Structure 1
Amino acid sequence: MQEQEKTFTTADGTSLFYRYRPAKDGSTDKAIVLFHRGHEHSERMMFVADELGLDDFAYFAWDARGHGRSPGERGDSPSIGTSINDVQTFIQHIQQEYHIAAENIAVIAQSVGAVLVSAWLHDYAPKIRCAILASPAFKVKLYAPFARTALRLAYKIRGNFFVNSYVKAHYLTHNKARQDSYNNDPLIARAISVRILLGLYDTAERVVADAQAIITPVQLLISGSDWVVHHAPQHAFYNKLGSHIKERHVLQGFYHDTLGEENREQAFVHMRRFIRERFATPLVHPDLTQSHLYSDSRREADELATPLSICHPCGAYWAARRWLTQLGANWSEGLRIGRDTGFDSGSTLDYVYRNQPQGTNEFGKMVDKYYLNAVGWRGIRQRKINIGHAIQAAFAHLRAADKPLHVLDIASGHGRYVLDALATDALPDSVRLRDYSPINVAAGRALIAERGLQDIATFDEVNAYDRANYQNLSPRPTLGIVSGLHELFPDNDLILQSLYGFGDAIESGGYLIYTGQPWHPQLEMIARSLTSHKAGCPDWVMRRRSQQEMDQLVERAGFEKIQQWIDEDGIFTVSLAVKKYSEVK
């Protein structure tokens, strides 16, 4: 079938180039999506379609932004997070434009492309059939001593700049034709921006450390004589993978261009069989809804909740950190609010949203600024922005379906993140805010009055985990919101009560916005030195839920995820789901 040249539009409006080859046998229901190495482009991946010989699959291959015929400065992207989201948008485009279900899509990715795909599998939890990762660039070999530290320091001082790849074609593959084509291809970009290189390292470390969250069937191909990337992180990734179906093949003597090597048929034999086996077997996703009882995240939370002796160096360190936090509360307003109401309280979050350092003196303001710039609080503020995007997306869907806009938020804190997302020229029909805390309710009512929204908005003190509190609501909500609540409680049976409540309250065709926390780099610091608002639980210990786990819980209540947002550090997700079923458990 004739190869076609196409474009798709990313979340930020950029038009990216891709190649599409229909299935040779005329099939229209299955696809293999190809992701190229760094510096390269789609044309150098399409040979995979020829050599696989799977004629009942359509093939797609993109030019990542900053590569090939896609726009952007060569070797650059606004961020690694943007590129990961581009993967999500590309797959959604294929699903919508070509009517190919996610479970009928396989992905093959090399090197940098394999890192982007791995992060996508972790962060977005797509329900694709399988993924093949060839020599993922989890850790690029930088032969100069302290190169990574020097690049990070230079980036902090200079801002973004570019470095050229040291790798020559004859260190990528033994295949002379591939070497020559690499050397003579005008679309090959030898440069890579430092922000992308550093972002690649940071993302890879996160994904390798939390690979147990990935449950997609994965085949990992490791080049045995790779000059470009280290082997150890690839093996660590494989060993930690949560996939019930996974394979690892070390191809002895292979250089980094695994799929373009001289003896690449060794790799293609494994790939061909793996894809055929996966599509010959029904796709079954492991049930993660009982992860609060047994899972790596349960073990992690139990370890964080285990007291440390003050006589142990770690115990002494965290006791000192806790004391310093309490001491800092004498001068820093943010620390004071956290001490008095809990660092996970609605009052703390409202202060973080406002992001205006305050203190009793200049020292206190300096401490407060440092506190508000913590990676977790940056993620919280981005979550607020993403909730705004999700609210506007839900409103657009509801207006397109000629449905009323009735909002129900069950744990609003002070309600700022919801009220800030309302466009004054196109307000919803009603907004019903709720919270368990009388402090939050009073603050929220004051915020409603301050903005003159009393005609459409109410704020009540209600328990979000009592399913009976969702019954017989009038008007019946068409958009439900739950933000930051479920992350505070490890018990899935408990949070299902609120999700079932949403399922009771929202009719088919309505929407739900829900948040998740699949990753957090400061979990131990939070657990050991910050206090919670919950009575009887002074320590703020959180059990992370993978995105797959969170999505499955939402599906139990009759909703199906249709869109997702995530911050650059991969900490907080915001998802939009549509109510699919009229009856819930």
Structure 2
Amino acid sequence: MRSVMTTENLSLHENSNRTGEIEWPSAQEEFLSVDGNASLFVRYARPAEEARACVVLVHGLGEYSGRYGHVARALVERGFSVVGWDLRGHGRSTGTRGDMTNGEALVEDLAAVCARFRPKTTPLFLFAHSLGGQVALRFLEKNATVCRGAVIASPWLRLAFNPPWWKLLLARLAMHVWPSFIQARDISPERLSRDAAHLAAFPDLNLLHQSISARMYFWALAGGERIFAGAAAVRTPLLLLHGDHDPVTCHRATGEFFERVGSADKTLRIFPGARHETHNELDRGQLLQEVGDWIAARVAPLEKT
């Protein structure tokens, strides 16, 4: 685990469109410096009373923590504090968009965020989506006892589609001469959710990107297979979520991982008709209720001791 070097306060950004259910609830914002050469943008929201647990949100490729305001709000209303951070190379964090010299740095960044923001007496949970799900599972392989539980939504274990042959050829050639070569991804809103109006209402949509470098693509591709190989080592309680109409990541791969994972406490929920972002789907209220119930059920025994 890398040590946290410094933090610096950041005043709230001036965004007039941060309204409604997608607004982060009274969040504090900071930049977290890791290794002295990367700066991670972090949001932190607390309930009015003492927090029952702390949930760290890990977003997917090309997005940013601001898209999880409604998730944070639902969890804060259940009495949990919530931490969201922009992965390096994403959102307001530093780094080249869509590129990563060392993909394992994302796992180490998650460790740094947990070390910095987890209250010492409060159980820690993760809520991770897509590439963030892969990062979270890699983290849990290496840190088996840090988290009380993890909610993993639509993890990138295997893709649900085959990229065009010419893009793969370019990427393979680039790995030999230009590993940072970036190509555009085709992630249209209809592949993410059936609720287009909800997706369009997020603040700061300019922070989205649809880029991925050759080395980052092959790191993520190999990372999914590494997770399958190390599934037995993951013993943290898990709630796995996936839509059966996800055109981005493979829900059958999530089912296969569920069978292999070493956790004794594990649940798999497949949502009929849902696409890639289950937490942004038409029935997201039901999903967030289930997530809150699942976390609360694992906090309650600790509160009684």
TM-score by length of 2: 0.84
Counting only pairs closer than 5 Å after superposition, residues 385-404 of structure 1 correspond to structure 2 as none
Matched, 1:236 2:260: no
Deviations 1:216-245 (CA, angstroms, capped at 9, x unpaired): 000000111001112232112111110010
Superposed, which structure 2 residues align to 1:335-354 within 5 Å?
Answer: none
Which amino acid counterpart does residue 243 of structure 2 have in structure 1? S
> Aligned residue for 2:141?
122
Equivalent of residue 188 in structure 1, options 208, 211, 229: 208
CA contact (8 A) 1:94 1:100 kept: no
- Which residue does 1:38 correspond to in 2? 61
Give the direction of change, closer, same or farther, for the CA distance of 1:156–1:78 in structure 2 (3 Å limit): same
> Partner residue of 2:238?
218
Identify the residue that residue 176 of structure 1 maps to in structure 2: 196
Structure 2 gap segments, 5+ residues each:
1-24
How do 1:111-510 and structure 2 match up within 5 A? 111-140=130-159, 141-145=161-165, 148=168, 151-181=171-201, 185-282=205-302
> 2:93 is matched by which residue type in structure 1?
S
| 1:18 pairs with 2:42 | yes
Q: 1:536-556: per-residue Cα shift (whole Å, max 9, x none)?
A: xxxxxxxxxxxxxxxxxxxxx
Aligned-partner residue type, residue 70 of structure 2: F
Provide the C-alpha distance between the structure 1 equivalents of 2:217 and 2:203, rounded to a whole number of angstroms: 22
Whether 1:105 aligns to 2:128 is no
Partner in structure 1 of residue 109 of structure 2: 86
CA positional deviation for 1:273: 1.5
Distance 1:208 1:5 in 2: 35
State how far apart, in whole Å, the 1-side matches of 2:293 and 2:206 are.
35
Gaps of 5+ in 1: 284-585
Q: Is the 8 A contact 2:38 2:95 kept in 1?
A: no
- Any idea what the Cα deviations from partners look like across 1:416-447, whole Å, max 9, x if unmatched? xxxxxxxxxxxxxxxxxxxxxxxxxxxxxxxx
Q: Tell me, yes or no, if the aligned pair for 1:10 and 1:90 is still in contact at 8 Å.
A: no
Cα 1:131–1:149 change in 2 (3 A) is farther
Counterpart contact for 2:199–2:280, Cα < 8 Å:
no
Inter-partner Cα distance in structure 1 for 2:105 and 2:215: 12
Cα RMSD for the two superposed structures: 2.2
C-alpha deviation, 1:188, in angstroms: 0.6
User: Secondary structure, in 3 states, of the residue corresponding to 1:186?
Assistant: helix
Cα distance change, pair 2–268 in 1 and its aligned pair in 2 (3 A) = closer
SS across alignment from 1:281: helix
Secondary structure, aligned partner of 2:206: coil
Change (3 A) 1:11 1:239: farther
Which residue of 70, 74, 79 maps to 1:51?
74
Distance between the aligned counterparts of 2:254 and 2:173, measured in 1? 27
Q: Which amino acid aligns with 1:279?
A: V
1:204 deviates by 1.1
1:183–1:6 distance in 2 versus 1, CA, 3 Å: closer
**Alpha-carbon spacing, 1:203–1:73, altered in 2? closer, same or farther (3 Å):** same
**What are the superposed Cα offsets for residues 186-220 of structure 1, whole Å, 9 maximum, x if unpaired?**
11111122211110111110111220100000000
- Equivalent pairs counted in the alignment come to 278
* Alignment TM-score, normalising by the size of structure 1: 0.45
State the structure with bigger RCO (CA 8 A, min sep 6), 1 or 2.
Answer: 2
Separation (CA, whole Å) in 1 of partners of 2:218 and 2:46: 37
How far did 1:53 drift? 5.5
SS at match of 2:73: helix
Structure holding more strand per residue: 2
CA gap of 1:272–1:145, structure 2 versus 1, over 3 A, is: same
The range that moved more, 214-223 or 115-124, is 115-124
Counterpart Cα distance in 2 of 1:188 and 1:146: 25
Choose 1 or 2 for highest CA Rg.
Answer: 1
Partner deviation per Cα, 1:510-566 (whole Å, 9 max, x = no partner)? xxxxxxxxxxxxxxxxxxxxxxxxxxxxxxxxxxxxxxxxxxxxxxxxxxxxxxxxx
Asked if the contact 2:52/2:299 (under 8 Å) is kept, the reply is no
